[in-house]
């Protein structure tokens, strides 16, 4: 509920801003496309003053995501530029590993499960504004567009663990582990959010009568929050077993090409790479008996790359 309220408020403000921009825009464009995304997320926590520096680590890897993306852009009459984009992706495949350690630096591993990591989704919203700087080439008749940008973005990774399989087991350990092999009932969730301001720059160059290529860099500052429901842990509360809080940052690199087919319609292709991470933060555990415990969240990392094909229509 928390994330939907937050996203709803963001979209409401963005819609109002875009409506005002639409009336002042000299040129408007809608870009809609479908893409393939590959991603991974990992986090680990410390064991306290007397515990190992990494006591538990979770990794989602080889996440395969089919995503839909829409983007609105406005070239405004005051020679500035405004954009807003929304991307939704469905996770169709992926792997998860959950490991626990009794020694520093990932040694004395006493528990490991390897599970399925598909079945949930990701969401990205971003808006940006900046002055549009034009550098025409009189000899070729082509124009280089340089756009410094500032903006705000919001990102979600909603992940799941199912089809549990124990690969390292220590039944005599406290707490004990299941024996090696499959174990039933695993359906745990982990939902992460990153939001905050960003700044960047975009370059667009006309390379032919109908071809335009672009390159872009964004640097993001982010507040990070996540919460999880570890459904097989009777000692944890449900539906919120623990939560994360930390400061984070990330960067996004993208390149693209556009070919104008006829009139106001163009074909587009894009490649995007993202790398996000947090500073040390806290993990707050909620016990089934009402207790609350706090430990060190060492780090969270989210990385992905995506390719997208789309259509752009100017109006």
From first to last of its 315 residues, the chain has per-residue pLDDT tens of 455 555 565 655 565 555 555 555 568 999 999 999 999 999 999 998 888 999 999 999 999 999 999 999 999 877 899 999 999 999 999 999 999 999 999 999 999 999 999 999 999 999 999 999 988 886 777 889 999 999 999 999 999 999 999 999 999 998 899 999 999 999 999 999 999 999 999 999 988 778 999 999 999 999 999 999 999 999 999 999 999 999 999 999 999 999 988 778 999 999 999 999 999 999 999 999 999 999 999 999 999 999 999 999 888
- State the pLDDT at residue 261: 87
Longest dimension (CA), the chain: 79
Q: Of all helices (H) and strands (E), which one includes residue 176? A: none
Q: 148 and 201 in contact (C-beta within 8 Å)?
A: yes
Tokens 């087919």 belong to 261
b vs e for 118-142, b when ≥16 Cβ sit within 10 Å of the residue's Cβ? bbbebbbbbbbbbebeeeeeeeeeb
DSSP E strand boundaries for the chain? 25-45, 56-76, 80-103, 107-116, 121-131, 133-137, 142-162, 165-168, 181-182, 187-206, 211-229, 242-262, 265-278, 281-286, 292-314
> How many CB atoms are closer than 10 A to CB 146?
15
C-alpha distance from residue 7 to each of 86, 95, 156, 166 (Å): 11, 28, 10, 37
Q: 97 and 111 in contact (C-beta within 8 Å)?
A: no
Cα(286)–Cα(161) distance, integer angstroms = 19
- State the pLDDT at residue 254: 98
The CATH number fitting domain 2-314, selected from 2.40.128.90, 3.40.50.2300, 3.40.50.2000, 3.20.20.70: 2.40.128.90
- State the pLDDT at residue 23: 54
- State the pLDDT at residue 207: 83
Report the chain's terminal Cα–Cα distance, integer Å. Answer: 36
Which residues, in sequence order, are bridge partners of residue 310?
33, 268
- State the pLDDT at residue 134: 86
């Amino acid at each position: 509920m928390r994330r939907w309220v937050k996203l709803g408020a963001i979209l409401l403000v963005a819609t109002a801003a875009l409506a005002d921009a639409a009336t002042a825009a000299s040129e408007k464009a809608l870009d809609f496309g479908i893409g393939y995304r590959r991603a991974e997320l990992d986090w680990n926590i410390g064991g306290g003053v007397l515990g190992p520096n990494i006591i538990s680590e979770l990794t989602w890897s080889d996440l395969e995501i089919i995503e839909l993306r829409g983007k609105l852009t406005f070239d405004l009459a005051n020679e500035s530029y405004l954009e807003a984009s929304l991307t939704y992706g469905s996770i169709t495949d992926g792997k998860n590993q959950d490991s626990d350690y009794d020694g520093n630096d990932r040694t004395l591993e006493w528990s490991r499960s390897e599970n399925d990591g598909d079945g949930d989704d990701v969401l990205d919203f971003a808006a940006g504004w900046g002055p549009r700087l034009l550098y025409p080439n009189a000899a070729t008749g082509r124009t280089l567009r340089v756009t410094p940008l500032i903006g705000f973005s919001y990102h979600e990774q909603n992940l799941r663990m199912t089809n549990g399989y124990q690969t390292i087991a220590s039944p005599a350990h406290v707490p004990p582990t299941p024996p090696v092999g499959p174990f039933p009932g695993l359906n745990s969730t982990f939902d992460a959010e990153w939001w905050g301001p960003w700044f960047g720059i975009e370059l667009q160059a006309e390379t032919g009568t109908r071809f335009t290529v672009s390159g872009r860099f964004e640097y993001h500052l982010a507040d990070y929050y996540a919460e999880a429901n570890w459904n097989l842990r009777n000692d944890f509360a449900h539906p919120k077993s623990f939560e994360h809080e930390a400061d984070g940052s990330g960067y996004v690199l993208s390149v693209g090409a556009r070919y104008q087919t006829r009139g106001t319609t163009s074909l587009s292709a894009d490649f995007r790479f993202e790398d996000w991470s947090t500073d040390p933060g806290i993990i707050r555990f909620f016990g089934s008996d009402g207790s609350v415990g706090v430990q060190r969240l060492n780090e969270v990392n989210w990385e992905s790359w995506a390719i997208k094909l789309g259509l752009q229509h100017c109006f």
